[in-house]
Amino acid sequence: MKDVTRAVLMLILFLSAGCRSIAGDPVLRLTLKAVDDEGHPIEGAKAGFGGERRPKNPDESSRGVWIEGMTDAQGFFRGELEVWNATQSGYTVEKSGYYPVTQHSYSAKSVVRDKWQPWNPTIEVILKRIKHPVPMYAKRVEGKLPALGVSVAYDFQVGDWVAPHGKGQIADMIFVGTVDMRGDRDFDYDLKVHFSNPGDGIQRFTPEPEPSVFPSPYEAPETGYLPEWNLKRSRHGPNEQEQDTFNNKGAYFFRVRTILDMDGKVVKALYGKIYGDFFFMAYYLNPDGTRNIEFDPKRNLLRPAVVNNFNRMTYDVGP
């Protein structure tokens, strides 16, 4: 009798496991490891992940499910969920004093025996420390040059083109754009970027990939600035692909309003950064004379007193 009972129980467990893909969803298990920008584990960070659950009946849509908790002394948070679609899931990690990682996507590969693969991967999540954010002149600029074939300048502190094209007064960056338009989809566009003062300049850097909220270094470099930068965009006929040297996912450091001593050393300058490329970018200018480029979004010196839906995207820029 005991053998029969054991056999029936085993059969029930077998059928339950075999029907899991119908009655429930496969299990997603993840381990998140929170570390700071120096690789030290972060204890007590709020961590979580989630995905979609199968609708209970055909008339319902799928619903999101979420699990969260706190990281342990080694920075780990572990959890599991029944998830219908783990190819479009996500996770978050945050703690006061750090830049958060929010809703970063995670894609599982496949399901094996009702478990999303890879099973229980450890994902290292870097939370950069909030060190010394400062007020800056920050603005998103999207558009085009106000004129071609002539020098036009931009004032970062005013946030506008220099007169006669705007209200700017100091030529922080000077642009000359030229275009040779020969016909439909047959053109060459050149953009030259240069500066007003010896010692001013620009250099590229690679921002940290998503999900970093603060994708730049904390400081601009002391050296390496180029007095001129050239970009090109061209296409030579409808059957040719457009070629360009722009990088809208790139970034720049810049130095302006530079004063040099008799030996050519920098006595005074203003430093900043640009995310994106000309002219689909967000720029930041630190007025305090240091190389600190950690921006405090709550203290944008260009933010108008009244922010509405029209100008919100222009002045609400992240660090």
Structural class in CATH, domain 22-127: mainly beta
Residue 87 pLDDT: 87
Which phi and psi angles does 135 have, rounded to 5°? -70, 145
The token duo for 66 is 């979420």
Residue 14 pLDDT: 35
Band of residue 62 on the pLDDT scale cut at 50, 70, 90: low
Instruction: State the chain's mean pLDDT as an integer.
Output: 89
Q: Which residue has the higher pLDDT, 303 or 134?
A: 134
- 234-249 burial, b at 16+ Cβ within 10 Å, e below that, comes to bbeeeeeeeeeeeeee
Q: Give tens-digit pLDDT for 171-219.
A: 999 999 999 998 888 999 999 999 999 999 999 999 998 777 899 999 9
Q: Are 172 and 202 in contact (CB under 8 A)?
A: no
Single pTM value for the model:
0.84
Exposed / middle / buried, residue 167 (Cβ in 10 Å: 0-12, 13-18, 19+): exposed
Exposed / middle / buried, residue 278 (Cβ in 10 Å: 0-12, 13-18, 19+): buried
Q: Give tens-digit pLDDT for 261-310.
A: 999 999 999 999 999 999 999 999 999 999 999 999 999 999 988 777 77
Give residue limits of the domains in the chain: 22-127, 134-315
Q: Give tens-digit pLDDT for 222-260.
A: 999 999 999 999 999 888 898 999 999 999 999 999 999
Residue 60 pLDDT: 62
